[in-house]
Structure 1
Amino acid sequence: MLAELPFLLIQLMYTLVSADQEFHFNGFQSNNISLGGVAIITPNGLLKLTNSTFVAGQAFYSNSITFKNKDSLKNGTNSSLVYSFSTTFVFAIVPKYSQVSAHGMSFVIAPTKDLSAAAPSEYLGIFNPTSNGNASSHVFAVELDTFRNLQFQDINDNHVGIDINSLNSSVSRPAGYFDDVNEEFQNLTLPGGQIMQLWVEYSDLEKQINVTLAPIKIGKPKKPLLSLRYDLDKIINEEMYVGFSSTTGTLAFAAHYVLGWSFMVNGMARELELSKLPKLPRIGPKKKHIFLTIELPLILVIILLLTISGIVYYRWRKKKFAEVLEDWEIEYGPHRFKYKDLYVATEGFDDKELLGIGGFGRVYRGVLPVSKIEVAVKRDSHESRQGMREFIAEIVSIGRLRHRNIVQLLGYCRRKGELLLVYDYMPNGSLDRFLHNSPDIMLNWKQRLRVIKGVAAGLKYLHQDWDQVVIHRDVKASNVLLDIDMNARLGDFGLSRLYDHGTDTQTTHVVGTIGYLAPEHARTGKATTSTDVYSFGAFLLEVVCGRRPIDVRKEVLLVDQVCSLWNKGEIIQAVDHKLGVDYVVEEVELVLKLGLLCSCVDPNVRPSMQQVVQYLGGYEQLPELSDLSISQTGFTFENDTVDVLTTSTQSYSVVESFLSSGR
């Protein structure tokens, strides 16, 4: 009897703990849930974590949970021990556009319910660049990820993963479940608007985590989707908070809902009463009720005959007026617009819809006739030295870019010798207009800094976070467009190059704009991510100083002028006089010094765009330029390069766009 006493004490202790560490919600009320970010509880009891803004949303159970007792007995000695726990919740991810969502949601166990320091987007509102992967975070999470992020080695854009102190999942698997009949794997689409249920269980004896996913109607499968043997004793503190976190993207909006939630320490969480769960908002128009009448059979026959006649006529007319489409273009079909639709959208390419004229050709504003979406249409007639097939393949590749700071390429149209590119419409036009061509409109420092951070985030995505490396090759103020909220979008990928991660770029024609060209690019014609960083450095100085990177008539480089002021300890004198004194001195000095660092002649000294984002976000300290042994000569072009640039017959463009001269 005495030998069994320690075991009986443990069992009694577990029973007492579990009595206080259990909750069960079939729908939610504000008095038992703490909300953060954009999360809300709807009037009918739905927990809605995200909306259409680029902000994270969190919701935690209001009270902390006791996960272990430091005085418990384990194997006859005093030791900290994480109790077994289990939870289940019903959720739905409803995308704005069919099966397109970013970035996902997660169940979280954290030492605090205040995650305001966490970053949105790819960090799921749980971590930031500093805390991700940090053993002191003490975070356990199960992610339902709907965006593939190579930075975290995601397996795809529709997976479930177990995260321990990091978004690099310890184990992950495509979303789905094993049926109970023959254990065959059945795929599920997380961002499909379907209501699903997730179970998370941890056994303190086996040190095993099981995660199971299933559609709401079939119940819990016997075989879990994920299993991981891991001792959570060093991860979970004595007191922790449990809840949910979610983020969404600027181009792929999705609403993340939790309908019900059950949780228990040292036992199995109670099953949810599915019939009592709140209903999701109706998707699409309300169904119309049709009342039967005596004339209904006759009406249906007439409608059927008219429909058949319409289909026959439509197919005949479509065949008669079909466009010439080569076989190799079929795979790019979803990105090809009809010329007739673009003609109608721009009112016949009327001059009153003309937005501007650039190296590519004329740019028109348009409204697509069916969707009523505003677009910008670039139109040009050309004979490119690059083969049409290779060109369109690359355009389609760039069209797959998805980032809040990248202008979305929607598609193209080809008609005889004419090429048209269709982009998202940016109502505020280019940044160049605000800096140099609109004396009555002035961007304040807060707006300029937000533009800088936006362009930096877009370039980081192009260089590192997408499936391929994209070198823009023409980063400048006129290619930075501003949306209706004055957010920066990097556009005009007419000169860009793509290559696979880990491979080297090839020498090509020198393309770009005077003042933004890196010296090694002007000499060798080889474009790299480092040459983009140089262009970004010139862009930084241009935004802060309100002057173009080069005065061609005076043969003066802006980077030389700023560097001279830095050497004198007067770098703040370079700031745009139109700002007056309405700016943060420390922020201006940081951006100016970062502009000089990015503009260094030695490409090995320039930072990567990931480092640039960390410097601007305050996650990493900018090195002192003097510590890098950089003098004014470190920012100046060599004499032969200056001669080439200043004797060009072009005012700002080194060469014509590849659309007229090839790449």
Structure 2
Amino acid sequence: MFFKWVMLSLLLSRSLASQQEEDVGFTYNGFRGVNMSLDGIAQITESGLLLLVSTTWAQVGHAFYPQPLHFMNSSRGNALSFSTTFVFAMFSELTTVGGPGIALVISPAKEFPGALPSSFLGLFNMATIGKPSNHLIGVELDTLQNEEFNDINGNHVGIDINDLKSVEAVPASYFSDQENRRIDLNLFGGQPMQLWVEYDGIEKQLNVTLAPINVPKPTIPLLSLKIDLSRYMVDPMFVGFSSSTSALDVSQYVLGWSFRMNGQAKDLSLSQLPKLPRRGTKTKPNFLKIGFPVFGASLVLMLVFIIQFIVRRRIKYAEVLEDWELEYGPHRFKYKDLYIATKGFNEKELLGIGGFGKVYRGMLPNSKEEVAVKRVSHDSRQGMREFIAEIISIGKLQHRSIVKLLGYCRRKGELLLVYDFMPNGSLDKFLFDHLSTTIKTKLSWNHRFQIIKSVASALLYLHEEWEQVVVHRDVKSSNVMLDKELNGRLGDFGLARLYDHGGDPKSTHVVGTFGYLAPELSRTGKASPCVDVFAFGVFLLEVACGRRPIEAGASEECHVLVEWVISSWSRGEILETVDPKLEMNYEVEEMELVLKLGLLCSQYIPTARPYMRQVVRYLDREIPLPELPSLSKSISLPSEMSTCGDISMWSPYYLGSTMSTSSSVADSLLSGGR
């Protein structure tokens, strides 16, 4: 009798557990009063909107259902069926480019320490992306094309597994049952849309369906993938949303969300969803109410016209100017002058788009001086005074190999930086855009070597010879500008940081460009000269090899530039990495010097990198380049070599268990700033 009672209890408990697995579900027609687990800058607005991100700087936002869910059948070990749908809207300040987008995420955790913003969507960093241990499943609504992740365009939907290289992706569209055809959609146009994600645990089929909010769910999904999710899941898992920003002014909302385990998610009540805020609308005074009837209707209308004209003109050229900025005098430009110089920031004057803003060509109306004007979004409430002070300090830099920062201007939500104009643009166009019709001049090796020496001289000046230590933080070929004689000049000091000689750099946000970031930044956040030395090492290999730090379309062996050069060096074939566009027209000793110096500067351990003064002496052949480290795990550097830190020691960096320490010298070098 007792045995029967025990068996009955076990059966009841299993039945109850199974029922709990099947009964999990929720429906939120708006998020007012909803208990969501929020992280980063995600928030729930007063109207009940889930605002994932709304900023121009590189930030992340996470919003997850707070309780873990059992996506796995505890008795069979396979993934359960589930269904979810949500309504979203994404805004962008530009009509042609969006922000990084939104991802629906199923993961073992609802927080992602060390995850990067921008194209990493707040989910991964260079060390974690692509690892099977992530156990992460996502559906991305991606509005920023990233070649590194093989994105098909800047407006697509993709299914991601442990990575941002989608296993399946298609341009955003929906199937119109009424018109019997697919219709394209703009994900970041600000219009509400609905997404359905459904997984059949028996058929192992994952369907993703998209449609405008006013269109019923299409009968044909946008994506349909045969996949066994149990291979990637652990138990339990969290479900929610992740998003991030880069440089554009974007806002990303979720209006409502419904989820169901082992069943169909309930339909959202679209009429109950909160309303999106209006974009770009401003309250205008009703000038007709202040008219004086005694002057007659015609005089009133004329007065209204004049006042409106003045107000519009002031709004058009309005600036942000605070008392503390008056001390900066000539370094402050009038917005009106910059507006006229760039012909109203006309797209025809656009020189390029970087990670933190657009750059326009302009001619100042009074001096007729050609300038480059960079528009950078900013938050004036957070450290703007200190930032402007540093900008003005950087404007005092005087060096022949530095693009001079002439000054700045602030207006509403943006900062404008004014530089000397470089007629030949940036070095990267000459290195990589060789098929472009706009690039008619080929850079010889002599030109390239002189550019390398110029940039090294500029960094030495910044690190040691100016009144303060200046850490550039974004050394790369696209920030090396060429004047009319093709002389190289280091530019774009928008990320630079200053501190006194002998002082300790303060920790700050990790900013820069992937592929050039020194690995210690993710641990300390401190921008020291070693950070620039690392990036300069990658830059040397860029110039010599004619390849980007991370080559999206290359083979696995050649994907990361530094790893590829290390591998070739270990085989005694380092010259095999030389840019084929040079057609063997180079001095072998100079080329070997640059390649080996690139590896020396881009080591994993910052204390093993040379100072820039030492780098300049190597390039000028004043002292010989030391031999690169051999296979031993720690070798003292030659006594004549100063290091970037206090320890003269080459510390090994291991590329992974697949490489033997007895067969490759690559174990002791950095693998490209991952």
- Same fold by TM (over 0.5)? yes
Alignment of 1:648-659 (within 5 A): none
Q: Give, as a single letter, the amino acid of the residue that structure 1 aligns with 2:40.
A: G
CA distance in 2, matches of 1:368, 1:394: 36
- How much does 1:525 deviate? 5.0
Q: 2:417 aligns with which of 366, 369, 375?
A: 375
- Does the 8 Å contact 1:199/1:213 carry over to 2? yes
Q: Give, as a single letter, the amino acid of the residue that structure 1 aligns with 2:407.
A: G
With 43-52 and 138-147 compared, the bigger mean Cα shift is at 43-52
- Does the 8 Å contact 2:351/2:361 carry over to 1? no
Q: 1:85 aligns with which of 82, 87, 90?
A: 82
CA shift digits 1:171-210 (9 cap, x unpaired)? 1101121222233222222233332211111223432211
Q: 2:673 matched to which residue of 1? A: 613
CA distance in 2, matches of 1:410, 1:536: 18
Alignment of 1:438-457 (within 5 A): 440-444=500-504, 457=514
- How much does 1:46 deviate? 2.3
- How much does 1:489 deviate? 14
Q: 1:162 matched to which residue of 2? A: 159
Q: Give, as a single letter, the amino acid of the residue that structure 1 aligns with 2:364.
A: K
- How much does 1:394 deviate? 9.8
Alignment of 1:27-426 (within 5 A): 27-29=30-32, 32-52=35-55, 53-71=57-75, 79-116=76-113, 118-129=115-126, 131-249=128-246, 251-252=247-248, 254-288=250-284, 295=297, 299=301, 337-340=361-364, 343=367, 355-359=396-400, 363-367=404-408, 373-379=415-421, 390-391=438-439, 405=474, 424=492, 426=494
- How much does 1:267 deviate? 2.1
CA distance in 2, matches of 1:558, 1:375: 39
CA distance in 1, matches of 2:130, 2:604: 34
Q: Give, as a single letter, the amino acid of the residue that structure 2 aligns with 1:26.
A: N
CA distance in 2, matches of 1:337, 1:411: 17
Q: 1:601 matched to which residue of 2? A: none
CA shift digits 1:101-130 (9 cap, x unpaired)? 442221111223233254544433334455
Q: 1:316 matched to which residue of 2? A: none
Q: 2:453 matched to which residue of 1? A: none
Q: 2:450 matched to which residue of 1? A: none
SS at match of 2:284: coil
Paired residue total: 509
- How much does 1:375 deviate? 2.2
**RMSD of aligned Cα (Å):** 6.0
Gap change, CA 1:186 and 1:154, over 3 Å in 2 = same
CA distance in 2, matches of 1:348, 1:575: 36
SS at match of 1:197: strand
- How much does 1:160 deviate? 0.6
SS at match of 1:151: helix
SS at match of 1:239: coil
SS at match of 1:220: coil
The sequence identity of aligned pairs, in percent, is: 30
Gap change, CA 1:377 and 1:288, over 3 Å in 2 = same
- Does the 8 Å contact 1:144/1:161 carry over to 2? yes
CA distance in 2, matches of 1:394, 1:29: 60
- Does the 8 Å contact 2:173/2:182 carry over to 1? yes
- How much does 1:41 deviate? 2.3
- Does the 8 Å contact 1:33/1:59 carry over to 2? yes
CA distance in 1, matches of 2:371, 2:128: 53
- Does the 8 Å contact 1:32/1:62 carry over to 2? yes
- Does the 8 Å contact 2:361/2:371 carry over to 1? no
- Does residue 22 (structure 1) correspond to residue 25 (structure 2)? The answer is yes
- How much does 1:225 deviate? 0.8
CA distance in 2, matches of 1:194, 1:225: 18
- Does the 8 Å contact 1:102/1:254 carry over to 2? yes
Instruction: Name structure 2 gaps, 5 residues minimum.
Output: 1-11, 290-295, 310-339, 343-347, 353-357, 374-391, 425-429, 444-471, 519-527, 555-576, 654-663
CA shift digits 1:462-491 (9 cap, x unpaired)? xxxxxxxxxxxxxx979959xxxxx99999
CA distance in 2, matches of 1:38, 1:611: 33
CA distance in 1, matches of 2:41, 2:626: 42
Alignment of 1:573-652 (within 5 A): 611-614=671-674
Q: 1:505 matched to which residue of 2? A: 579
CA shift digits 1:77-105 (9 cap, x unpaired)? xx334332211111122335544344222
- How much does 1:547 deviate? 4.9
- Does the 8 Å contact 2:652/2:668 carry over to 1? no
SS at match of 1:178: strand
CA distance in 2, matches of 1:478, 1:389: 38
Q: Give, as a single letter, the amino acid of the residue that structure 2 aligns with 1:363.
A: K
- How much does 1:568 deviate? 5.1
CA distance in 2, matches of 1:209, 1:554: 61
Gap change, CA 1:232 and 1:42, over 3 Å in 2 = same
SS at match of 2:80: coil
Structure-2-length-normalised TM-score: 0.58
CA distance in 2, matches of 1:257, 1:562: 52
CA distance in 2, matches of 1:507, 1:567: 37
SS at match of 1:275: helix
- Does the 8 Å contact 1:533/1:607 carry over to 2? no
Q: Give, as a single letter, the amino acid of the residue that structure 1 aligns with 2:103.
A: S
Q: 2:615 aligns with which of 543, 549, 557?
A: 549
CA distance in 2, matches of 1:62, 1:234: 24
Q: Give, as a single letter, the amino acid of the residue that structure 2 aligns with 1:375.
A: L
- How much does 1:404 deviate? 9.0
Gap change, CA 1:404 and 1:178, over 3 Å in 2 = farther
- Does the 8 Å contact 1:507/1:527 carry over to 2? no
- How much does 1:539 deviate? 12
- How much does 1:238 deviate? 4.8
Structure-1-length-normalised TM-score: 0.59
CA distance in 2, matches of 1:548, 1:54: 35
Q: Give, as a single letter, the amino acid of the residue that structure 2 aligns with 1:208.
A: Q
CA distance in 2, matches of 1:183, 1:589: 70
CA shift digits 1:228-274 (9 cap, x unpaired)? 1223333344532211112222x345333222111112222122222
Alignment of 1:422-571 (within 5 A): 424=492, 426=494, 428=496, 440-444=500-504, 457-459=514-516, 505-506=579-580, 508=582, 523=589, 532-534=598-600, 536=602, 547-550=613-616, 555-556=622-623, 567=635
With 258-267 and 331-340 compared, the bigger mean Cα shift is at 331-340
Gap change, CA 1:180 and 1:411, over 3 Å in 2 = farther
